[in-house]
Amino acid sequence: MNGTSQMLVYLIAIPLFSATVLLLGSRALDKVGHIIGTLASTAAFVVGLLEFFAMLGRAPENRAVTQPLFTWIEVGNFNVGATLLLDQLSICFVLLITGVGTLIHIYSIAYMSHDKDRRRFFAFLNLFIAAMLLLVLGDSYLSLYVGWEGVGLASYLLIGFWNQKPAYATAAKKAFVANRVGDVGLSLAVMIAFVQFGSVSFSGVAEGVEAGKASSLALNCLGAALLLAAVGKSAQFPLQAWLGDAMAGPTPVSALIHAATMVTAGVYLISRSHFVFDVASVAQLLVVIVGAITLLFGAIIGMAKDDIKKALAASTMSQIGYMILATGLGPVGYAFAMMHLLTHGFFKAGMFLGAGSVMHGMNDEVDMRKYGALRKYMPVTFITFGLGYLAIIGVPPFAGFYSKDKIIEIALDAGGAKGIILGSITLLGAAITAFYMSRVMLMTFFGSKRWEADAHPHESPALMTIPMVILAIGSISAGFIFNLGDRFINFLNPVFHSDHSGHGEKEHLLPPIVVSALALTAVAIGVSIAIAKYGRGKSIPAVAPADVSVWTKVARRDLLQDDLNEALFMRPGQELTKALAIVDEKVIDGAVRGVGSLTLDVASGVRRTQTGFVRSYALWVIVGAVGILATIAVMSL
Amino acid sequence: MPTPKIEYGILAPVLVVLAAAVLAVLVEAFVSRRYRYVVQTTLSFAAIALGLFTVILNKDVSGRFAEGSVAVDGVTIVLQGTILIFALLGLLLIAERGFQSFTAQASTLPGSADEQRALASGLQQTEVFPLTLFAVGGALLFPAANDLITLFVALEVLSLPLYLMAGLSQRRRLLSQEAGLKYFLLGAFSSAFFLFGSAFLYGYAGTTTFDGIKLQITTSPGNDLFLLVGLAMLTVGLLFKVSAAPFHSWTPDVYQGAPTPITAFMAAVTKVAAFGAFLRIFYTTIGGMVWTWRPIIIAISILTMAIGTIIAIAQKDVKRVLAYSAIAHSGFLLTGIVAFNKSGVGATLLYLLTYGFTTLGTFAIVTLVRDAGGEVTDLNRWSGLGKRSPLIAGIFTLFLLALAGIPLTSGFVGKFAIFSAAYESGNISVVIAGVLASAVAAFFYIRIVVLMYFNDPQEDGTSVVIPSPVTAITIGVCAVATLVLGVFPQPVINAVNSLAMFVAG
Amino acid sequence: MSLDNYLYLSALLFTIGAAGVLIRRNAIVVFMCIELMLNASNLAFVTFARMNGSIDGQLFAFFTMVVAACEVVVGLAIIVTIYRSRRSASVDDARLLKL
Amino acid sequence: MNSLTILGALPLLGSAALFLLPRANELLAKRVALGVSTVVAVAGLAIAMNFDRSVTGFQLVEKYSWIPAFGINFGLGVDGMALLLILLALILTPIVILACWNEAEGSRWSVKTFFALLLILETMMIGVFAATDIFLFYLFFEAMLIPVYFLIGGYGSGERAAAAVKFLLYSLFGGLLMLASIIGLYVVSRDQLGAPTFDVTELQKLSLNNQTEAFLFLGFFIAFAIKAPLWPFHTWLPDAAKAATPGTSVLLLGVLDKVGTYGMIRFCLTLFPDASKQFGPTIIVLSLISIFYGAFLAIWQSNGDIKRLISYTSISHFGFITLGIFAFTAQGQSGSILYMVNHGFSTAALFLIAGWMIARRNSSKVQDFGGLQRVTPVLAWTFFIAGLSSLALPGLSSFVSEFLVLVGTFVRYPLAAVIGTLGIILAALYILIPVQRSLHGPVAPGNENLKDLNLREKIAIAPVIALIIFFGFFPQILLNVINPGAQASISALNIGPSTGGDK
């Protein structure tokens, strides 16, 4: 059914090769390392574009292409081929990854120019691109798994890029471990899939589900397992704690991995597994709940953060919450989730780059309380960041408006109480988002200067601003373009088999226009509160005030998630470890050594019978004789 | 009254050796001191060699001779052959004159002027040769005896010389004399039990011949009091000889006190002889009583393994370690008796053969580790031997591994054969016990290896003397035998199995 | 009178002898006790010989006596040497070898 | 055509040659050892070339009567599993020799003896995996102890003598239990087959009653569980690994311990199928305990001794291997066998690099390292990659095996598989914590001017790393060799559906 393409492998091969070269290469490569890296990423992007146009050239129903490479694992009927699959869903990611990726490569050339390990940095970036592409191109859950952990590794390496700072190393480790918890889910998912359907490829599982091979229990377990995986990778509740710390990485990394691409892999996984969730209602409900909780969770944390990157990270968390929630809303949701994912990719990446640019100008200061009034000094940054800001809070006609609005809409349409609750949550989320993003905006670019003495803010070089500009354009236009005549939905339709054509006429809880109105009001409220609190003339203390409500304190502590993990897992774990160490030393090895020393004691005890008195020896003889006589007597009775 | 018929040809091995012994006594009396040593050694070796030769001539014989008081059959042949080989090797050690093992004059007081004079005058101990020959003679007769009287006489002829030989050490004479005394008293004591037992067996059967007793048991089974008492007492006597617990107490003291060449001789020869008699009596004479005696022997066997291995762990003197290991091996050998089946006989004979070589070799090496004051038997002073003389340490390690029953050594072949025989008879308990005991035993053998290789030598004058040819030959032969029997045991196994038959009837 | 009594006697003698070995310290006496045990056996032998009406028992008894004689020779030799070097014939003094 | 005998004899001859060399000329000894082992490795690969994948039984079979009285034959032959393990040994030996070039210097014993012992050990390793006669196997099984014993005791550090003895006694004890079972087999085979035999394929014809079978099975299993090592028979391993030189540890954990798991498949499963099924669940539990127990103690060691840490991770890994073996599924079986090979390489890498770190720093405490990534990047990277393979990162060899094991287990024991899967979280911890402590953070005092890997060390470690990555993507090369045998041994158990998805 599917056509094949021989080019897919190059998408992965090019950046992977470049990464290898950059890693193994000698210091001589330092001069050109960044160029090679950027070129590799660009090349991948070009390939992606070619594939995209080739795809558009085909009829919608057979746009998907595959490229079988080799048999990876085959044992009994467990048969996994290394095969690549490019369909409408993956192409979106391919373009996002390579496109935004390339821009960020370019940006990094300037941003990392002072770092003597720049070559290594670009190697890692390429490695990430390759892994992420493998993630979205793999045609089976197991191949996806490879990319899945691959991006985890890349993220680990990049978060810990400056791992000479212990805190950064710890952050990297934390991220990896949190991801591993999610990976457990993915492993289990693969196992369940294999046992239930005898296949781990997407198509195989899909057919299996169609054929009703699996009980609904099994399907819900499968769904839950997949959700766990998504939660880990996409920093959803309750595994979100690592994302904030992950900001330890260089800002371009935060933009690419922890905003635009990797963290959205969870959304990809769930959308990719739509055929499971469509029939696993419980799992689907879980998805919605997780999404809803996280979008508020992130938003609340976002309000309390003074570190610009952490604030943005919190908002990422929250925005992904939106997407996850959308995917949990069944066929209608996937497309919108994807749409929001893409738009978010643009504006959030743009804003991170903006933040990076600010830090660049403020010699790596991240505390917004030490910013202020930067709009005059960094006009380009200000404008691009501002556009991103408008996009994220969902002001029409910016990208965020279309995507987020749709999600709120379908949330309301979820029906019954569910609809009401979800709808209000999403609206509330929108309001809070508006508030904290405005807060970021105001604290950074408006108000009075609160700089450190040695700060000399200046606009960043072109290599950094150009990507920002391009992304800003994206955040303006993307939503509008996508939404034009539902073209995006229709484009993805063959993947999700969810006929949206009828969705216009479908019965709504509220008419779309009302929804938009509500959303905009929520936004307005949020913005106005922010202005009231941080607007013109309001003084912002250079250090976060301590005399704040317990809620603020809690929010600053990421809603205590770390403390919770600490109390629930780490400390008991450490205790257990200590206990086991003692057990091993004292009990098990002790038992062994005990047997040894016991034998020795017995030996020296029995030895005493050898008194040296010949008469006692004679006594033994007699004892023996009597013993034998007695035994014989007894036995012959 | 017809004259009794004596088959001299078939009894030749025993007769030759005993005759030589008598001759040797005369030599002591009439040959001048200067030539005595030469004459005695030649005589002894000649006698043993001749004996061996006659044994080989007898190899196809199977029957009862000397009016049924002696049984010569495959088992006897094998045992006598083994005994003579070991006697030969033992004699080589005894004949070693590179260093004095024996007191010049047993009668002189330790440290007295007489002793000094005796030493100074270059007196050389040669009484030991006739004594050895007598012991060998007894040993040859013991497993062949087919009659309680013969058995008793053989036992005494074997034992009495050993009591004396145990006391002949030149160094540490007090220890040596004490060993002699203990051995003598306990030996006599146990032979009293033996004798009392024989009396009751005679009372039960009305005859002293094994065949008569066997016949009586088969024809009128049941638990006659005389039979049971006799059986028990006789067993005590035999168990004492093979130093099975709880009749083992003499072994460590005697092994340690006696001159090392004698210890080697005892350890190899008496064990073979005693187990030979054990086999014959328990497999044929009182075989009908197996259900009575098997549980006892099982218990004794396990007890012996346990006592031997466990006490050995706590020893600090190499000769005592070896003594306790000898006890443990008696325990293993008893499993061969327990087996009470065709393969049991062959296995026991094979085990005796392998064990004899190894144990002779170990004691031979002990004679080489010396300082100014004679042999050094304190284990701590053996540390670093591997550095001091790698060859000797290596060979000693080989022997220890064989004693521990590590594969590719003779010890393993023996253990395997004897345990599988016991397993076959369904007495898995002894096999398990044996295996566990081997595990424990491994510990103290390895401890010595560690000592020799991983500890640094102490500078206390302990050194390994270069052995004169006689000892060197012994060690060489034993080492080779230990290896060959471990790697290519097939021919020997075939030979033993083909011969391992008791005379029918 | 029945022959059994002779057996009882011999058993008694044997026991006395064994007990003596355990109780007495003087090597000579210990040795004599052993001789007593041997003779107890001899008594048993002749008794059985009488019971079974066969000559072997008496024969055995003679052999025993000869052997006993040999034992005396060997035994006394050893005991005397010990006595000369230790100035004591107590078996308890001879315990350098132990454990 | 007795290629296996020749292959096995070569290193032995090499060691003999080494003993003849002059004590003084150490370099020559090293070169000879390296040369011999390389030749053997090449020869081994050549032999592997004409190994027929389609055949399930033994190949390259040789059989000579040795001790007919006991039915003992000198029987050699390999199936896929044996072949791969032999190749593992052959590849690792020259690498170890090269990597531990100067390891034996300054020991109480001569350098040439060290390398001679290594070569002897190589012979033993070939023999133990190639033996088709249980007795011969037992023989190598025991004989192997002696070179290792001297390698640890003679060249180790710290509590070497004690560790050596502990290792030896543990193994001897197990070996003797196995001996008891072997004697049992001997007797039973003589009763049932007329003549005694130790031939593996012959012995499969025996029909044992349950009690006997359980008894014999336990004898073998405990011996193998000690070797493997499975909880709670493991305590000898950390001590031995700590005391031994890195090279010895590589061969000890990388190859020798595989004899345990190998034996479980080769003997326990094939000779005692019913007992295996009977004890299967218990062993599954033990395996799970091992996985977590080893992992937790490894984490504990991350502020302790790095060699102990690695050995505890191995205990965890062996838990996975036994888990797969006793899941009785095609995937589990093949996965476990593949795991043996992969674990060989990753542990080898870890130990060699750890050894170099220790040699440079004169300390094996994890805390004493730190910031190595900045000082010695190459060393740090190789260690990191080795670590990643130890935590079974997808794309590296061990992932495939670990995942196959888990899938295979899931088919029969879903719960066990789920629990086992949780182990991968701990794996992340016990690798990343030491990685952070030793490679990341500021450069710890005393590490400022440590040397990075020299050419020899790079050459030694490169192939291992390469194989780790290569087999991550192309495990099928190995699996094709493994599968037939594994399938056969599973179908021989005839125990329900051996693979999932067929409902």
Bridge partners (DSSP) of residue D73 are D65
| DSSP SS3 for D194 | coil
Which of B413, B191, B193, B422 shows the shortest CA–CA distance to B302? B422
- CB-CB under 8 Å, C96 with A614: no
pLDDT confidence of A501, banded at 50, 70, 90?
very low
pLDDT of residue A452: 81
The answer to whether the CB of C60 falls within 8 A of the CB of B150 is: no
For residues A344 and A448, membership in a common domain is answered with yes
AA identity, residue A377: Y
In this prediction, residue A498 has a pLDDT band, given cuts at 50, 70 and 90, of low
Assigned token pair, D122? 């190589």
Interface mutation target, options A604, A606, A607, A615, chain C, most CBs of C under 10 Å: A615
Contact B246 A599 (CB under 8 A): no
Residue A225 belongs to some domain of the structure: no
Closest chain B C-alpha to D22 CA, distance in angstroms: 16
Q: Is residue D277's pLDDT more than 70?
A: yes
Rounded Cα distance between A148 and A133, Å, is 10
Q: How far apart are CA D361 and CA D363, in angstroms?
A: 5
**Is A614 close to C22, i.e. CB distance below 8 A?**
no
Q: In the predicted model, is pLDDT for residue A539 greater than 80?
A: no
Tens digit of each residue's pLDDT (9 = 90 or more) over A92-120: 999 999 999 999 999 999 988 888 889 99
Last residue of a domain, one of A556, A584, A618: A556
Tell me which residue has tokens 């398990």.
B432
* pLDDT level of residue A188 (50, 70, 90 thresholds): very high
Domain count, chain A: 2
Q: Which residues contact A229 (CB under 8 A, 6 or more apart)?
A: A148, A182, A183, A185, A186, A189, A266, A269
Inter-chain CB proximity A615 and C30 less than 8 Å: yes
Which of D67, D153, D176 lies closest to B439 in CB terms?
Answer: D176
Do the Cβ atoms of D424 and A75 come within 8 Å?
no
D477 SS3 class: helix
CA distance D475 to chain A (A): 7
User: How does pLDDT run across A242-301, given as a tens digit for each residue?
Assistant: 888 888 889 999 888 888 889 999 999 999 999 999 899 899 999 999 999 999 999 998
Q: Is the residue at A324 inside a domain? A: yes
Cα–Cα distance between D33 and D182 in angstroms, integer? 35
The residue-averaged pLDDT of A140-154 equals 93
When scoring D169, D320, D432, D443 by the number of chain A Cβ atoms within 10 A, the one with the most, hence best to mutate, is D432
The distance in angstroms from the start CA to the end CA of chain C is 51
Return contacts of A277-282, CB within 8 angstroms, 24+ apart: A277/A223, A277/A226, A277/A327, A277/A328, A277/A330, A278/A330, A278/A331, A279/A209, A279/A216, A279/A219, A280/A216, A280/A219, A280/A220, A280/A222, A280/A223, A281/A220, A282/A220, A282/A223, A282/A224
Torsion sign across C-alpha atoms A509, A510, A516, A520: negative
Model confidence, pTM: 0.90
Amino acid letter at D20?
L
Chain B, 223 to 282: residues with Cβ < 8 Å from chain A are 223, 228-229, 231-233, 235-236, 239-240, 245-247, 249-250, 252-253
pLDDT bin (cut points 50, 70, 90) of residue D496 is low
Domain span including residue A512: 291-556
A634: nearest CA partner in chain B: B292
Which chains share 3+ C-beta pairs under 8 angstroms with C? Answer: A, B
Angstrom distance (rounded) from CA D379 to CA D453: 6
Sheet holding B369-371, edge to edge: B374-375, B369-371, B463-464
- Touching chains C and D? (3+ Cβ pairs < 8 A): no
Q: What angle do CA D220, D226, D227 make, to 5 degrees?
A: 90
User: Do A599 and A537 reside in the same domain of the chain?
Assistant: no
String of DSSP letters for D310-328? HHHHHHHHHHHHHHHHTTT
CA distance B331 to D41: 47
Please name which of B287, B229, B212 lies closest in space to residue C52, comparing C-alpha atoms. Answer: B212
Question: Which chains have at least 3 CB atom pairs separated by less than 8 Å from chain B?
Answer: A, C, D
| A614 CB within 8 Å of a chain B CB | yes
Give me the pLDDT at residue A502, please.
45
Structure confidence at residue A361 (pLDDT): 85
Q: Are A226 and A276 contacting, i.e. CB atoms less than 8 angstroms apart?
A: yes
- CB-based contact B313 A612, cutoff 8 Å: no
Judged by DSSP in three states, B375 sits in strand
Report the alpha-carbon distance of residue B392 to residue B370 in Å, rounded: 13
Greater pLDDT, A20 or A449: A20
Determine whether the interchain pair B420/D183 forms a contact, defined as Cβ–Cβ distance below 8 Å: yes
Domain match, A475 and A516 both: yes
User: Chain-centre distance of CA A388, in angstroms?
Assistant: 21
CA pair distance A273, D246, nearest whole angstrom: 47
pLDDT on residue D497: 57
C52·B203 Cβ contact <8 A: yes
- D410, pLDDT greater than 90: yes
**Is D411 in the A-facing interface, judged by CB distances under 8 Å?**
yes
Report how far residue A147's alpha carbon sits from residue D473's, in angstroms, rounded to the nearest whole number.
12
pLDDT tens per residue, range B33-91? 888 889 999 999 999 999 999 999 998 888 999 888 999 999 999 999 999 999 999 99
Domain presence at residue A373: yes
Q: A572: number of CA atoms within 13 Å, CB side?
A: 6
Task: Judge: A164–D442 Cβ closer than 8 Å, yes or no.
Answer: yes
Q: Name residue D243's beta-bridge partners.
A: none
Task: Give the closest residue to B83 by CA, choosing from B134, B139, B155.
Answer: B139
Q: Measured between alpha carbons, how far is D204 from D492 in angstroms, rounded to an integer? A: 10
pLDDT at residue A2 in the model: 66
Q: Which residue has the higher pLDDT, A346 or B504?
A: A346
Measured in whole angstroms, the distance separating CA A34 from the mean position of its chain's CA atoms is 26
Strand duo A3-4 + A65-75: pairing: parallel
In chain D, whose CA is at the least distance from the CA of A173? D432
Task: Yes or no: say if D119 and D22 are a contact pair by the CB < 8 Å rule.
Answer: no
Q: Which of B491-505, D191-205, D375-389 is the most confident on average?
A: D375-389
- Domain extent, residue B305, equals 12-94+127-499
Tell me which residue in A71, A188, A195 faces D501 most closely, judged by beta carbons.
A195
pLDDT > 60? residue A132? yes
CA A266 to chain centre: 7
B181/A contact by beta carbon, under 8 A: yes
Residue B223: predicted pLDDT: 65
* Residue A5 belongs to some domain of the structure: no
Residue A499 has pLDDT above 60, yes or no: no
Looking at the DSSP assignment, which residues form a beta bridge with residue A68? A83
What's the DSSP call for residue B72?
E
B233-289 pLDDT tens trace: 999 999 999 999 899 999 999 999 999 999 999 999 999 999 999 999 999 998 888
Q: What number is the average pLDDT over the span C63-68?
A: 94
| Position A507 confidence tier, pLDDT thresholds 50, 70, 90 | low
User: B426: distance to nearest CA of chain D, Å?
Assistant: 10
Among chain A, residues having any CB pair with chain C shorter than 8 Å are 607-608, 610-615, 618-619, 622
Residue of A nearest to C31 (CA): A615
Kindly state whether residues A544 and A573 are assigned to the same domain: no
Secondary structure letter of residue D305 according to DSSP: B
Decide if B149 touches D, using CB distance below 8 A.
Answer: no
Residue type, A537: G
Instruction: For residues A502 and C11, give the distance between their C-alpha atoms in angstroms, rounded to a whole number.
Output: 118
Given a cut of 90, whether residue B3 has pLDDT beyond it is: no
Sign, CA dihedral B479-B482-B484-B486, equals negative
CA proximity to A429, closest of A531, A338, A322: A322
Structure tokens at A582: 């003692």
**B137–chain A nearest CA distance, Å:** 27
Confirm or reject contact between D66 and chain B (CB < 8 A).
Answer: yes
Average confidence score pLDDT of chain D: 90
- Least confident range from A429-443, D197-211, D472-486: namely D197-211
Q: Give a yes or no: residue B111 inside a domain.
A: no
Which of D170, D308, D307, D145 shows the shortest CA–CA distance to D229?
Answer: D170
Who among A148, A187, A577 is closest to D300 (CB)? A577
**Last residue within a domain, chosen from A556, A587, A620:** A556
List Cβ neighbours of D137 (8 Å cut-off, separation of 6 or more). D128, D131, D263, D267
pLDDT at D499: 46
Average pLDDT over every residue of D461-490:
92
Q: How far is the C-alpha of D304 from the C-alpha of D122, rounded, in Å? A: 32
Residue B319 β-bridge partners: none
pLDDT of D289 over the 70 cut? yes
Residues B408-463: tens digit of each pLDDT:
899 999 999 999 999 999 898 999 899 889 988 888 898 898 888 878 787 777 78
Q: Which tokens hold the place of A368?
A: 């917004």
Q: Examine the domain organization and report whether A525 and A574 are in the same domain.
A: no
Residue closest to B231 by CA, chosen among B251, B203, B272: B203
Provide the pLDDT for residue B280. 94
Distance CA D320, CA D336 (A): 8
The pLDDT of A474-498, averaged and rounded, is 81
Alpha-carbon gap, residue B351 to B415, rounded angstroms = 7
Residue B4 domain-assigned?
A: no
Q: Is residue D500 predicted with pLDDT exceeding 50? A: no
The angle at the Cα of D170, spanning D169 to D173, to the nearest 5 degrees, equals: 80
Which contiguous run of DSSP H or E holds residue A549?
none
Q: How many domains does chain B have?
A: 1
